[in-house]
Amino acid sequence: MRILITGASGQLGLELSSVLKGELIKTFNTREVQGGYRLDLENFSQLEDFIIKKRPDVIINTASMTDVDKCEVERERAYRVNAEAVKHIVRASRVIEAYLIHIITDYVFDGQKGLYKEEDLPNPVNYYGLSKLLGETYALSYDDSLVVRTSGVFRHKGYPVYVYKTLKEDKEVSAFKGYYSPISARKLAEAISELIQYRKTGILNVAGERISRVDLAMKIKDKFNLGGSIKEVDYVKGWIAKRPFDSSLDISKAKKILSIDFYSLDENLRYMVV
């Protein structure tokens, strides 16, 4: 099986590269990956041409502009990368009849209620979430696609890693009020590897268990016996874009489909790279 991974230098891309079996076609943009191909997702003709020439059986689109505040400021680029590029990936996928897995964020929701199900109506509160929602819409226009909604992916960066490193230096952690469903890049990659076998289509939430950022910080502090302190805040200094209060995802559907423990906090924290 030939599998194309876009964004192979990202956290999820790195873990997919180590977990997946078969012939892997890895692409990157700025951070080089050994044996990979440089591919600019904003060069749409090159993007389509690359996919059609490589003819992968499966495409996993992990490439994204994920800096929430940068997306708020650089809206045109966020739209091109997070939305318009997906349209062209879909166009090429149709030509070669590839199975497409597209990775999406919990930030497509407004955070008013939490534990969002696959069928709940998205309502993003920032441009990052809107651009990703538009990309999701393009992906779902293709019959042979699976949109994986996830939350707070971490590996060598992300909130849990920030907490660990800050507390280890005996400093204060700023914990944004609210809830989400963090998952390690490794467990998400393992879940995607299993999902490829089932060739599911539509939308599926694959994330960790719902937890507040304060409780998560306390868990990390206790688990690793760290110093420092934790302060709950309404916003983090320097933020530009609004964040949803509770963007946690209901993962009951994925629990029934997948055979692995992709969701428990202790299992996910095993794969922090610090």
Point out the residues that are catalytic: 128
Buried b (16+ CB within 10 A) or exposed e, 175-191: bbebbbbbbbbbbbbbb
**What is d(CA 262, CA 142) in angstroms, rounded to the nearest whole number?**
27
What are the Cα distances from residue 209, in Å, to 110, 184, 236?
19, 12, 23
State which H helix or E strand residue 153 sits in: strand 153-154
Residue 224: both structure tokens together: 């690793």
State both tokens at 30. 């700025």
Position 138: which residue type?
Y
